[in-house]
């Protein structure tokens, strides 16, 4: 926090900027071996510290302003609980940055996103290539199935999710676009 104040910003703005970089995929190609578990541990500690300090006051304010509306408050609490549960499950079962052992992919995977599959194949793609891959893969998927692949939540947004049964479409498209440059 001191460093943020010295640079004339607030911690929330810095955290928001970091999250935006993450959602834009600009942090995807960081070398996991250099950063390692130490970096993950520091992030978790910092987030935990921030939440410990800030969350109670935010919740108190929210409860005070919505005290008369118990139905809305209840639905908000349920939605937050479900979101936290799904985030905990994702964090505990998947390392979002790499799949180091290609012979042992994440278990029980029903579908793949473009970025995750490219990373799994050991291929680095940029935003333009990702859009081309999405366009061509969707066209091939639609040709095979008569419809576009379903969208699933991905990093705070919706993205096309390609079923495991159709990985040939996705893999061939990724390799073809990367080969073209």
123 touches 152 (CB < 8 A):
no
List, for residues 48-92, the tens digit of each pLDDT value.
777 777 777 776 777 677 667 767 766 777 777 777 766 666 665
In a domain, 102, yes or no: no
State the first-to-last Cα distance of the chain, in angstroms, to the nearest integer.
42
In a domain, 142, yes or no: yes
In a domain, 116, yes or no: yes
Do 23 and 77 fall into the same domain?
yes
In a domain, 60, yes or no: yes
In a domain, 98, yes or no: no
The C-alpha angle with vertex 114 and arms to 179 and 84, in degrees rounded to 5, equals 155
- Domain region containing 169: 111-180
Do 128 and 68 fall into the same domain?
no
4 touches 10 (CB < 8 A):
yes
The average confidence (pLDDT) of the chain is 75
Do 89 and 6 fall into the same domain?
yes
The whole model's pTM is what? 0.43
Number of domains observed in the structure of the chain: 2
In a domain, 139, yes or no: yes
Do 83 and 121 fall into the same domain?
no
Q: How many helices (H) and strands (E) does the chain have?
A: 7, 4
Among 14, 22, 162, which residue's Cα sits nearest to residue 97? 22
Q: What is the mean pLDDT of residues 151-165?
A: 88
Contacts of 133 (CB under 8 A, 6+ apart): 114, 118, 125, 170, 173, 174, 177
């Amino acid at each position: 926090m001191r460093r943020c104040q010295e640079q004339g910003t607030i911690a929330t703005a810095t955290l928001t900027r970091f999250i935006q970089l993450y959602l834009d995929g600009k942090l995807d190609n960081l070398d996991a071996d250099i950063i390692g578990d130490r970096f993950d541990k520091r992030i978790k500690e910092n987030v935990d510290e921030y939440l410990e300090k800030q969350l109670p006051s935010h919740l108190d304010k929210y409860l005070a302003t919505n005290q008369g509306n118990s139905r809305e408050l209840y639905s908000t609490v349920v939605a937050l609980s479900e979101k936290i549960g799904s985030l905990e499950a994702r964090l505990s079962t998947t390392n979002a940055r790499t799949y180091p052992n290609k012979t042992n992919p994440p278990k029980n995977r029903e579908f793949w996103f473009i970025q995750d599959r490219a990373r799994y194949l050991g291929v680095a793609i940029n935003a333009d290539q990702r859009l081309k891959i999405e366009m061509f893969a969707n066209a091939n998927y639609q040709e095979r199935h008569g419809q576009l692949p379903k969208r699933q939540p991905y990093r705070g947004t919706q993205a096309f999710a390609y079923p495991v049964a159709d990985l040939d479409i996705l893999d061939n498209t990724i390799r073809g676009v990367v080969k073209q440059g």
